[in-house]
């Protein structure tokens, strides 16, 4: 090699390469693909590619009766199916002016909150799995199993419950369930303390999370991020407080918000939320009224009057909104689903720019994405 | 570039590791929560939503279903096909074919809820994994008949009739 061909180190061309994370990768929890343009170990641009599990739920809504679409809603976010059922059922109830008895409302809140805890426990396990810690997953699934057993006993299913109906819930809860839930709530508080000793205080975890993956309130506003992501940026936005639905107005609970905006803040928001959910469940059980669980004025063939109705709930991952347009037929004219994960994912590209790859994956885990929820 | 770490932080960090390890070690002395599945299994919940099966009339031993097709209409996934025949000397139709395409079923339970005569219920079967698709397309009527032959229905029927 002659001397003239030697390239001096300072003139090295800027080289980037593309790294594909997913669609089948242990760190993406599903079929999400990230096209990462890497500059060495740093992310220059991370482009999420979705659509691998697109099932046309919205279009399916236009092809089946109002009641037949109900099982679909549980499949959008399978980890928090109760809240999704709740949003759809309540939207149709609003459109068709169906009364829901108070006992059913309380049962809905109790089961939704149990479902939220179980969803956060899956996130807790999976997030730490992303970061390289395997054992917390087993602890989390031990507790989650108790919730699933309780919910299975009353709904008959462990994941896609389809428990709510227009005008109430399909089965009443029994004394066994109430006792089981009280036992679970009593047992979960010491477990949470144990999680904090085992995981939250851990120095390795703190080094991976504190100050990593900043998402500010401005970025949340820009992309419409909701749920623990916006609360981790210090904005106490929660649909249960902002637009109280069901019986949340009568219940006493706090919205945890941490202003740091890093992965640790989002972690702490979710852990705090588990505790608040336990509070809600306890109050719900205390206040649980007697009475029927199905409203009397539910028509056999449901034809909501023509119009446009919205209903938003706070799902485990943020604001889930159902908008239905009826033209007074047995089949919806349009079902629009606004899912939280889609918005929460869209800020990833901006937030992850310039981060190291392992940190970017920590950020991705802290967003708590459920891929069917993005694609729906 | 290395971040500066104070001695206090090092001690706190070490303490957090020891505290975590203590919990892990404590777990050794706690009872196991897992079940060794193929050898032992848990009891299914009474409300467990499995696939559906036909219910037999206690008195006559025949299926309660009279092919009204309400379940067929309620099904969101289009997986039920019911056919009925009108037998001589009977008021209602009786089911002659009840096809359930379990490959499409989403286990929502709408069919059981739609049934006015409680002629279908959830089965407690959950070991349904199979290597062929055809096995999941089942005729519940034939299944009930086969079940009848297997459990020796005539015996129970005899005792019932004797009891009457």
Q: Which residues of B touch A301 (CB under 8 A)?
A: none
Of A156, A171, A197, the CB nearest to B19: A197
Is B124 part of the contact surface with chain A (CB cutoff 8 Å)? no
**Tokens representing A355?**
């981060």
SS3 A286: helix
Domain containing A307 equals 55-375
**Per-residue pLDDT reduced to its tens digit, B40-49:** 888 888 888 8
- A156 and B49 within 8 Å at the Cβ level: the answer is yes
- A72 and B76 within 8 Å at the Cβ level: the answer is yes
pLDDT at site A2: 52
Is B125 part of the contact surface with chain A (CB cutoff 8 Å)? no
Classify residue A42: in a domain, yes or no: no
> b vs e for A137-154, b when ≥16 Cβ sit within 10 Å of the residue's Cβ?
bebbbebbebbbebbbbb
Is B17 part of the contact surface with chain A (CB cutoff 8 Å)? yes
- B17 and A203 within 8 Å at the Cβ level: the answer is yes
Which is nearest to A319 in space by CA: A151, A136, A80, A92? A80
For the domain that residue A168 is a member of, what is the CATH number?
1.10.645.10
**Does the pTM exceed 0.95?**
no
**Mutation target among B14, B16, B33 for the A interface, most CBs of A within 10 A:** B16
**Per-residue pLDDT reduced to its tens digit, A342-369:** 888 888 888 888 888 888 888 888 888 8
- The CA distance from A46 to A351, in Å, is 9
What is the mean pLDDT of the segment spanning A55-79?
A: 87
- B20 and A197 within 8 Å at the Cβ level: the answer is yes
DSSP per-residue letters across A326-354: E-SSSS-SEEEEE-HHHHHHHTHHHHHTT
- B23 and A68 within 8 Å at the Cβ level: the answer is no
For the ranges B48-52, B82-86, B98-102, B141-145, the lowest mean pLDDT is seen at B141-145
Whether the pLDDT of residue B153 is over 60: the answer is no
Residue A10's Cβ-count burial label (10 Å; 0-12, 13-18, 19+) is exposed
CB B148 within 8 A of CB B61: yes
Classify residue A369: in a domain, yes or no: yes
Angle, vertex CA A99, rays to CA A98 and CA A105, nearest 5: 120
**Tokens representing B57?**
């009339």
**Tokens representing A219?**
């970025």
Q: Compute φ and ψ for A74, nearest 5 degrees.
A: -70, -20
List the B80-85 sheet strands across, edge first: B80-85, B94-101, B137-139
Residues with Cβ within 8 Å of residue B54, at least 6 apart in sequence: B63, B64, B65, B95, B98, B119, B120, B140, B141, B143, B144
**Mutation target among B32, B37, B47 for the A interface, most CBs of A within 10 A:** B47
Classify residue A50: in a domain, yes or no: no
What is the mean pLDDT of the segment spanning A175-184?
A: 90
DSSP label at residue A227: T
Q: The domain at B52-152 falls in which architecture?
A: 2-Layer Sandwich (3.30)
What is the mean pLDDT of the segment spanning B98-107?
A: 84
Classify residue A45: in a domain, yes or no: no
- B16 and A201 within 8 Å at the Cβ level: the answer is yes
DSSP per-residue letters across A159-226: S----EETTEESS---HHHHHHHHHHHHHHHHHHHHHIIIIIT-HHHHHHHTT-S---HHHHHHHT--
- ipTM, two decimals, is 0.76
Classify residue A173: in a domain, yes or no: yes
CA dihedral A264, A265, A271, A272 (to 10 degrees): 150
- B76 and A201 within 8 Å at the Cβ level: the answer is no
From first CA to last CA, the distance across chain A in angstroms is 58
CB A277 within 8 A of CB A117: yes
Query: How many independent structural domains does chain A possess?
Result: 1
Domain residue limits, chain B: 52-152
Q: Compute φ and ψ for A270, nearest 5 degrees.
A: -70, -40
How many angstroms away from the CA of A67 is the closest CA of chain B? 8
Is B154 part of the contact surface with chain A (CB cutoff 8 Å)? no
- B110 and A145 within 8 Å at the Cβ level: the answer is no
CB A126 within 8 A of CB A137: yes
């Amino acid at each position: 090699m002659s001397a003239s061909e030697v390239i001096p180190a300072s003139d090295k061309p800027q080289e980037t390469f593309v790294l594909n994370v997913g669609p089948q990768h242990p760190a993406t929890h599903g079929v999400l693909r990230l096209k990462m343009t890497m500059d060495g170990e740093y992310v220059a641009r991370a482009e999420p590619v979705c659509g691998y599990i697109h099932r046309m739920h919205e279009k399916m809504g236009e092809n089946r009766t109002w009641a037949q679409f109900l099982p679909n809603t549980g499949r959008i976010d399978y980890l928090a199916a109760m809240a999704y059922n709740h949003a759809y059922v309540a939207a149709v109830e609003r459109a068709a002016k169906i009364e829901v008895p108070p006992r059913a409302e309380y049962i809905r809140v109790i089961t939704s909150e149990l479902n939220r805890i179980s969803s956060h426990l899956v996130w807790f396990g999976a997030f730490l799995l992303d970061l390289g810690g395997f054992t917390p997953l087993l602890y989390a699934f031990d507790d989650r199993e108790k919730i699933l057993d309780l919910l299975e006993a009353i709904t008959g299913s462990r994941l896609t419950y389809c428990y709510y109906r227009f005008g109430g819930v399909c089965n009443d809860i029994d004394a066994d369930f109430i006792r089981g839930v009280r036992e679970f709530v009593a047992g979960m508080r010491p477990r949470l303390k144990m999680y904090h000793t085992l995981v939250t205080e851990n120095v390795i975890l703190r080094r991976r999370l504190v100050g990593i993956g900043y998402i500010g309130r401005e970025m949340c506003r820009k992309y419409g991020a909701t749920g623990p992501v916006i609360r981790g940026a210090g904005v106490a936005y929660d649909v249960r407080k902002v637009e109280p639905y069901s019986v949340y107005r009568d219940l006493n609970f706090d919205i945890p918000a941490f202003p740091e905006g890093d992965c640790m803040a989002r972690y702490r928001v979710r852990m705090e939320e588990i505790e608040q959910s336990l509070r809600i469940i306890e109050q719900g059980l205390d206040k649980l009224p007697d009475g029927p669980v199905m409203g009397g004025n539910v028509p056999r063939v449901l034809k909501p009057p023509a119009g446009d109705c919205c209903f938003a709930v706070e799902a485990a991952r943020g604001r889930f909104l159902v908008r239905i347009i009826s033209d007074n037929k047995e089949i919806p004219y349009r079902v629009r689903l606004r899912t939280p994960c889609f918005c929460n994912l869209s800020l990833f590209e901006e937030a992850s720019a310039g981060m190291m790859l392992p940190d970017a994956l920590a950020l991705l885990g802290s967003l708590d994405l459920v891929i069917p929820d993005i694609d729906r | 570039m290395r971040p500066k770490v104070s001695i206090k932080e090092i001690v706190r960090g070490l303490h957090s590791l020891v505290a975590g390890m203590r919990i892990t070690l404590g777990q050794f002395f706690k009872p196991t929560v897992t079940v060794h599945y193929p050898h032992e299994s848990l009891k299914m919940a009474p409300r467990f939503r499995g696939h559906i099966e036909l219910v037999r009339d206690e008195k006559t031993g025949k299926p309660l279903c009279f092919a009204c097709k309400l379940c067929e209409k309620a099904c969101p996934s289009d997986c039920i096909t019911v056919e009925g025949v009108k037998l001589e000397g009977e008021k209602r139709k009786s089911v002659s074919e009840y096809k359930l395409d379990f490959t499409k079923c989403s286990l929502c339970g709408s069919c059981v809820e739609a049934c006015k005569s409680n002629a279908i219920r959830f089965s407690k079967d959950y070991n349904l994994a199979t290597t062929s698709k055809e096995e999941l397309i089942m005729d519940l009527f034939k299944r009930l008949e086969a079940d009848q032959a297997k459990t020796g229905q005539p015996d129970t029927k005899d005792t019932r009739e004797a009891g009457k």
